[in-house]
Structure 1
Amino acid sequence: MNPIFLAIILGEVAFWVFLSLGLLSRYVWKKEKLSLILLAATPLIDLFLLGVTFMDLSNGTKPTFFHGLSAAYIAFSIVYGHQTIKWADQWANYRWNNGTLPEKITLVGEVRKQEQWRSFYRFCKCSFIMLILIGAAFFIVPFQDAFWLIYWLVAIISSIFIWFIMGPLRFTTKKQDTSL
């Protein structure tokens, strides 16, 4: 098995373990400090994965698909990790602390269009981080070995254009239905 792919899997498992233990500590075991430590430690997983990926490339390994996937995982974790933790915290509060049921909001009209733009900007931030991480790998990897890095650059830039067309542009140019 590819060591970077294994590191990504371990990082994902570690994220959910830290998140679960953090929420259990907060709502079931009533250990607020432990909860904060566990939840605050989740970014360390990204640092671990970043270190493993760049050490692998520095040791002369030719980049693979998984090196780009590592950059994508780190970027998504940075941009969307807080939202994921907040979502899980709301559900844990509801489930274990008699909190209120998280409300599912249906977006229509102008509000939906604004959310499409916010979502697109978040994705652009995520893509920018991916581009920086992959761009940094070009300083380590000889250009003749950079096929997968170039592949990821094309995929990221293409994704931005596709998201723009299918998201904000589509909702900005079409007539909005304001009814539920």
Structure 2
Amino acid sequence: MLIAVIAGCEIGFWVVLAAGLVARYPLRLRRTGAALLMCVPLVDVVLLTVTVVDLRGGATAGFGHGLSAAYVGYSVAFGHSMIRWADERFAHRFAGGPPPGEKPKHGRARAAYEWREFVKAVVATALSCGILLLMIAIVGDADRTEQLSGWLTRLGVVLAIWSLWPITYTIWPAKPKKGSATSPADRTPRA
């Protein structure tokens, strides 16, 4: 059941985000759009509530419970940049805004970009692990939360693998192909 709730929350995230952006730009309802965009984090609250209620109701933690903690942690850490990504594209398409920025492809700018993304992953992992530990404490039964403990290791492995990208781009920065022009994104780091 939790896997279906997680899928529903992912769909809900994009539906609420799209509704907020449509209200904001094509419909020019700035306040309504802002209100809808502020509701995007409520999707995470719904998922977290369903997960905790299920565990408090006596369920033994399974894969879905751990996945929901990881989903919430990553959604919180990366949600703002995902919303900004979508907002830039809607602003360009419907409000005459500047073209959306691209991630840098080469050099120090790309390495800096990869390190910023890695820091978000560290925050996401810390939040996810905190939620997992909180769930374990709420249930208070090691037999029922064994799957949650396993997720702590999984998230650590994901973070260790993720660390390879910024390290690689720092040690061996990508260079532009011969004859290609360097884009402005490659010269200035993007936040």
Q: 1:179 pairs with 164, 176, 183, which one? A: 176
Q: Distance in 2 between matches of 1:114 and 1:105?
A: 10
Q: Distance in 2 between matches of 1:80 and 1:23?
A: 18
Q: Does the CA contact (< 8 Å) of 1:22 and 1:34 recur in 2? A: yes
Match of 2:181 in 1: none
1:64-97 deviations in whole A, cap 9, x for unaligned? 1011111111111111111111111111112222
Match of 1:134 in 2: 132
Q: Distance in 1 between matches of 2:10 and 2:69?
A: 13
The structural deviation recorded for 1:177 is 4.2
Q: Distance in 1 between matches of 2:26 and 2:134?
A: 43
Matches within 5 A, 1:53-72: 53-72=51-70
3-state SS, counterpart of residue 42 of structure 1: coil
Match of 2:88 in 1: 90
The structural deviation recorded for 1:141 is 4.6
* TM-score, normalised via structure 1 length: 0.90
Number of residue-to-residue matches in the alignment? 176
The structural deviation recorded for 1:159 is 1.3
The structural deviation recorded for 1:32 is 0.8
Identity, in percent, stands at: 30
The structural deviation recorded for 1:49 is 0.9
Matches within 5 A, 1:22-171: 22-139=20-137, 140-164=139-163, 166-171=164-169
The structural deviation recorded for 1:115 is 1.7
* TM-score, normalised via structure 2 length: 0.86
Match of 1:13 in 2: 11
Q: Distance in 2 between matches of 1:21 and 1:122?
A: 26
Letter of the structure 2 residue corresponding to residue 15 of structure 1: F
The structural deviation recorded for 1:158 is 1.1
Letter of the structure 2 residue corresponding to residue 179 of structure 1: P
Structure 1 residues 177 and 41: CA distance shift in structure 2, 3 A: closer
Q: Does the CA contact (< 8 Å) of 1:90 and 1:102 recur in 2? A: yes
Letter of the structure 2 residue corresponding to residue 72 of structure 1: A
Q: Does the CA contact (< 8 Å) of 2:103 and 2:110 recur in 1? A: no
Question: Considering only aligned residues, what root-mean-square deviation do their CA atoms show, in Å?
Answer: 1.5
Q: Does the CA contact (< 8 Å) of 2:104 and 2:113 recur in 1? A: no
1:129-150 deviations in whole A, cap 9, x for unaligned? 0000011111115112223112
The structural deviation recorded for 1:161 is 1.4
Structure 1 residues 131 and 106: CA distance shift in structure 2, 3 A: same
User: Structure 2: any 5+ residue segments left out of the alignment?
Assistant: 178-191
The structural deviation recorded for 1:117 is 1.5
Q: Distance in 2 between matches of 1:55 and 1:66?
A: 13
Q: Does the CA contact (< 8 Å) of 2:103 and 2:113 recur in 1? A: no
